[in-house]
Structure 1
Amino acid sequence: MYADCTATPAHAPALPARLPVAAALIWLCALLASAAPWFGDLDPAALVAAFWTFDVDYYPSVLAHYSWAPRVAISILIGLGLGLAGAVTQQILGNPLASPTTLGVEAGGQFGVTVATLFFPGLLAFSPDLVAVAGGLLAIGLVIALTWRLGFSPVSVILAGLVITFFLGAVNMAFLLLKGEWLGNLFIWGAGSLVQNNWQPFMDLWPRVLVLGALMIALMRPLQILQLGQSSASSLGARVGMIRLLALLLVVLMSATVVSRVGVVAFVGLAAPVLARLLGARTLTARLAWSSVLGAGLLLLADTLAHWASTWGNGSLVPTGTATALIGGPIILLALQNFKNTHHMPGQADGPAGFLPARRSTLVVGGLLASFLLLTMAISMAWSPGLEGWNWTTPAQWGEAWVWRGPRLLAAVLAGVALGLAGTLIQRMTGNPMASPEMLGISGGAAVVMVITVLIGADIGRAGQIGAATAGAAGALALLLLLARKHRFAGNQLLLGGLALYVFMDAGLRLVMASGGTVASRLLNWMYGSTWLISESEALGLMVLILLIAALLLLIIRPLTLLPLGETSASSLGLPVPRARLALLLLAALLTGAATVVIGPLSFVGLIAPHLARVLGQQTVGRQLIVAALAGGLLLGVADYLARTVIYPNQLPAGLLAALVGGLYFLWGLSRHGRA
């Protein structure tokens, strides 16, 4: 990790030729692709002149001056700013995968704008930058608070930032679903669009970007001292904490200013510095300079591709944020191949022994959870609000109430059971207690396939959806295991690979959101677990599927017990390790795919339920599977009941409530580990 170097070279390393060549190619392709549609109407000289003048009697010249030229200019400006901000972020945190996006700054900025739109519209009229900066500061403050005691280890920072992004995104979606008539256009904007119709946005933005960029560059010498390590830098008189705080403040200001003007242009701040390092930028000066240059070129190229896609799509808007996310995802995967992390993973103790609860009877614990689950189902069927207020539904009337309450409740409970089982399988298979279908990108893989299905308008029915989601989940986990093979399936590579898959899922979601209409509404409802869409036949079919898989799990208790011993030990005990891993992979994918179709991809139940089983004293594989399944069913059963009643007559998706609770639990667990 480059920020922990203890020695500096006597002279700056030579700059590889591939770096300027690659930057020149990116810029050339971006400029030519952006200008190509205009060559039929304007010659190259007239296109260049469109940046400062136009022919009032020739409409293409007017259009180029007021539409094309400011769009190119603002793309370059924002790319320069975000590339520089990303390089500074990586330097101050010593984390080659840190960026304003992965630290939750952009999600925080959008959260600030959303809250201000609903509750403090006067602040937006005064300054949209102010509320975006406040949201960005909130996000980065949470990340710093959670990872401070872990020394900003790369994996911990990325995980905290990712969950902050999940959590704030879930809150944003709750506002959108409740106040869609007020926030619809806001979320189309949030997908990230650089469409311009005059020069005013550019003129407003360039002084801010210039000043903030100059201040970041002024910090170059203090940032270079940080390369000596915290102890050495402090001994030389550097106030390390103050330098980091000031630099992070500048990063937040830069990112939030951009978000407030053009929306979330995702992953430029990550892709540009990572690409600069991959191409050979070694010194801090080179990284800052080339990250800025590459950021401008990448964003211009992404915006041009988004514009082309909008044209090919019969005018349907393709957000620039989608294109940048699709570029950023592969760059993350490239970076993972050379990423090395010497810090421990959250949940893997390298110091004092962690909390190990006393063993408890599975019969007693399982009986209590089953009783609570039955009680939840009975209350859900019997005690609900209506037109005349809250009232009891007698058991004799449950047959009539079942049509409205039963299928969704049954489907939610079954999805919780499936995620509890899948989470236990994944945590046992990877040996990482912080792993889950959500954090490993397995749910994201299922979601990507579902998004594609929605985009192409395929009507494949619920069975087809489960099959497609299972294929996406299996493909995602297989890809992650393939990528992590050279690292011997270390948990950090798996988790950071899951981040890359989340990028693709987020890109597809933003694309559909920007399209608006009923398709976007359907996908949003599904993404956050709208159980009211479930029919009785679908719920019963899901129950049969879960029961069959649960029966198969009886056969994998021995493999799950032996795999944590290591490949050599497991093989010596007669376990065919590759086949066992493949079987576990398929079972986890099938469970995740079935649950994702019902409850959406971001519920965190797959993370919480196995932990609850451990807390309740279930340490062996079979006992943990049983209790995790019951705990998952109980969590989503309660979530579905609350989602149906808490804001009656409106409804919240059950998966959204579970994601909010699950995100808080994950953050609490991360902070608790930091205190260990």
Structure 2
Amino acid sequence: MSTDVRPLPDSPLALPGKLPVWTAILWLFGLTAASIPLLGILTPTELVSAFWSYNSDQYSTVLAHFSWAPRVSVALLIGCALGLAGAVTQQVLGNPLASPSTLGVEAGGQFGITLATLFFPALLTFSPDLAAIAGGLLAIGLVIALTWRLGFSPVTVILAGLVITFFMGALNMAFLLLKGEWLGNLFIWGAGSLVQNNWQLFMDLWPRVLVIGIALILLMRPLQLLQLGQASASALGARVAAVRMTALFLVVLMSATVVSRVGVVAFVGLAAPVLARLLGARTLRQRLIWSSLLGSSLLLLADTLAQWASTWGNGALVPTGTTTALIGGPIILIALQNVRNTHHMPGQAANPAGFLPVRRSTLATASVIGALLIAVFLVSMGWSPGLDEWHWTPASEWGDAWVWRGPRLLAAVLAGVALGLAGTLIQRMTSNPMASPEILGISGGAALVMVVLALAGIQLDRTGQLVAATAGAGAALGLLILLARKHRFAGNQLLLGGLALYVFMDAGIRMVMASGSSVATGLLNWMYGSTWLVSDHEAIALLSLILLICGGLFLVVRPLTILPLGDSTASSLGISVGKARLLLLLLAALLTAAATVVIGPLSFVGLIAPHLARVLGQQTVGRQLVVAALAGGLLLAVADYLSRTVIFPNQLPAGLLAALVGGLYFLWGLSRHGRS
């Protein structure tokens, strides 16, 4: 899986002094911060004794024994488990960015519990672990299958894990919108909470964590041999495939066990091993030990921060999963500083592409897609379900029907056009056909602002929401520019910077779900592309903006054509590479923001539309832009119609349907580009 060959040390490496010092500081700081609320009531000695006894005549000791002490113990135990699981995952895959969170294991565990809640509730009564383990195995199995032939490149694994997480999250959200009365509390729990009122959870967890942890430690010697490379490890008697599969299975067991009890507590398994490496842990033994200890302290600090935030928020619950997710973005960026991606980006083959579609007439192709778009418009306006049966609305009544069907249909088409154009710009600019506006993180910036406004209780009208979302997209763009400018806006840094933004957005979404309010429901509907919120004025404004931006696209055809030839070639042909990429990024951001503020941030149309244009034989930049724009409009028009009719009289967000289809397409495309 990893082709890097690193010799095993002849003698144990000396332990850097700063590693135990900083670990002790984090532990001391975490325990002190967690104890502050009770230090004014109980003495330090009474707090320590609260872990095993209490005075029934003194309420503060009862509170400490049954609430504070179990919560601290659970945080330390789970942090240790996730830190160990993350260190083993990174060793198995030879990837310093790998963890149960980035591989989709935790999202898969929640997905398994969602399915069991709806269809197999008896299984949860027997053991919630089984459903979570099945979901986690499904997620990590998909990531392994998709990235096996690409050598587990850090970028490739992160992208595959992100899309698996995103896709399973979309499925979870679809179930929530359809079966909210069954799953509302499940998603509040799934945001990750360590609140305790007795010792039952800790007593259930510690034997499982201990057994799985011992099993992982027993694999340490075979895991060390993996550093020699597959051929050398096999020659020394190691069954490489068996060791890897066993280790990953144990990682899934550990992570799924945690998810089934407390929900998704994200990125501790990534942060702890990264900190251990930064503080000097070099050998596998050191990384396993210190990642476990650092994981405990990090989760305790995150949980304490969640408690403080809940207090500052007038008692509103702030899930621990939110505060742990907030550290994920910076940790990813820190970990990337010393990562050498020796493998090609997905879709960047070393040899000429094996699939070159036959070139077709742009006029003929655009005419066919245009005809299909007109057909979808006619069907959407005329053929729809009623209270009793499906019926055709006469053309004479379309004026009245337009109020309910027209603005949303027009907005869906225009958003699809914008995303198709933005996706083409991004894929051409990064020379990466697996890139998309969603993964770039610009749409996530718009969504994050909307989440913050909702959580702050700020009520804005529709115009205010559009302005705020646009500002969020612009802020995300500025952050991406700062992150990627020293790399001349190269594809890897842009995509991974976008991933960091997605992490923050995900944290906000989890906080919204935990609130369980009516505002949260409306915001989630918007985030997953609810076109029924669109008015005539918004649709017309979107049309004007897209027409204005399209006028500027004529200026970028030449740079888009030359940039894929390489930086040196582009510079020799008179292209200022950095400025050209910045201009392209600005145009892509404007198009993405225009679509996001109307239809929400979560859709893969920006990935699918440019691919369809290439499949339909449009290889040059200008032709691909035209056909991708039309294809994007057609895709979202169909999604809008289906969202309105498939579960009538209820509705699904059009963006959610597009995300489900787009996620499958992304996974198929990633596996296809991995073939030799």
Query: TM-score interval w.r.t. the shorter chain?
Result: over 0.9
1:141-192 CA distance string (max 9 Å, x none) = 1112222222333222222211111111000000000011111110000000
Matches within 5 A, 1:164-203: 164-203=164-203
Q: 1:475 to 1:570 in 2, by over 3 A?
A: farther
CA contact (8 A) 1:449 1:468 kept: yes
Secondary structure at 2:385's aligned position in 1? strand
Matched, 1:644 2:647: no
CA contact (8 A) 1:267 1:328 kept: yes
Aligned to 2:250: 250
TM-score (norm 2): 0.97
Aligned to 1:366: 366
Matches within 5 A, 1:590-629: 590-629=590-629
Matched, 1:117 2:117: yes
Query: Which deviates further from its counterpart, 1-10 or 525-534?
Result: 1-10
Query: Which deviates further from its counterpart, 453-462 or 100-109?
Result: 453-462
Matches within 5 A, 1:28-47: 28-47=28-47
Matches within 5 A, 1:579-594: 579-594=579-594
TM superposition shift of 1:565? 3.5
1:332-364 CA distance string (max 9 Å, x none) = 111112111101111001135331112111111
TM superposition shift of 1:330? 1.0
CA contact (8 A) 1:466 1:593 kept: no
Distance in 2 separating the partners of 1:166 and 1:347 = 20
Distance in 1 separating the partners of 2:149 and 2:589 = 35
CA contact (8 A) 1:467 1:593 kept: no
CA contact (8 A) 2:5 2:229 kept: yes
Distance in 1 separating the partners of 2:87 and 2:500 = 19
1:534-583 CA distance string (max 9 Å, x none) = 11211111111111111221222223223333444434444444443332
Distance in 2 separating the partners of 1:486 and 1:633 = 35
Matched, 1:146 2:146: yes
Query: Which deviates further from its counterpart, 483-492 or 162-171?
Result: 483-492
Q: Which runs of 5+ in 1 are unaligned?
A: none
Matches within 5 A, 1:169-318: 169-318=169-318
TM superposition shift of 1:490? 3.8
Aligned to 2:340: 340
CA contact (8 A) 1:88 1:247 kept: yes
Matches within 5 A, 1:516-535: 516-535=516-535
TM superposition shift of 1:650? 0.9
1:73-127 CA distance string (max 9 Å, x none) = 0000000000000100111111110111111111111011111111111111111
Aligned to 2:320: 320
* Matched residue type, 2:386: G
Secondary structure at 2:399's aligned position in 1? helix
TM-score (norm 1): 0.97
Distance in 2 separating the partners of 1:647 and 1:411 = 21
Aligned to 1:379: 379
CA contact (8 A) 2:151 2:343 kept: no
Distance in 1 separating the partners of 2:490 and 2:354 = 20
Distance in 2 separating the partners of 1:245 and 1:76 = 27
Q: Which runs of 5+ in 2 are unaligned?
A: none
Distance in 2 separating the partners of 1:670 and 1:248 = 22
TM superposition shift of 1:3? 7.2
Aligned to 1:668: 668
* Matched residue type, 2:34: S
TM superposition shift of 1:455? 2.2
CA contact (8 A) 1:470 1:589 kept: no
Distance in 2 separating the partners of 1:673 and 1:271 = 30
1:341-398 CA distance string (max 9 Å, x none) = 1011110011353311121111111111111111111111111101121000111111
1:41-81 CA distance string (max 9 Å, x none) = 10000000000001111111100100000000000000000
Q: 1:576 to 1:468 in 2, by over 3 A?
A: farther
TM superposition shift of 1:306? 0.1
* Matched residue type, 2:280: G
* Matched residue type, 2:504: F
CA contact (8 A) 2:70 2:196 kept: yes
Matches within 5 A, 1:30-179: 30-179=30-179
Secondary structure at 1:675's aligned position in 2? coil
CA contact (8 A) 1:3 1:91 kept: no
Distance in 2 separating the partners of 1:90 and 1:258 = 19
Distance in 2 separating the partners of 1:153 and 1:241 = 18
Distance in 2 separating the partners of 1:649 and 1:515 = 27
CA contact (8 A) 2:489 2:582 kept: no
Secondary structure at 1:551's aligned position in 2? helix
Aligned to 2:561: 561
Q: What is the identity percentage for the equivalent residue pairs of Structure 1 and Structure 2?
A: 76
Would you say how many aligned residue pairs link Structure 1 and Structure 2? 676
Aligned to 1:350: 350
Aligned to 1:537: 537
* Matched residue type, 1:449: V
1:515-547 CA distance string (max 9 Å, x none) = 111111011101110111111211111111111
Query: Which deviates further from its counterpart, 573-582 or 275-284?
Result: 573-582
Distance in 2 separating the partners of 1:520 and 1:141 = 33
Query: Which deviates further from its counterpart, 494-503 or 537-546?
Result: 494-503
Q: 1:470 to 1:574 in 2, by over 3 A?
A: farther
1:292-349 CA distance string (max 9 Å, x none) = 0010000000000000000110000000000001122211111112111101111001
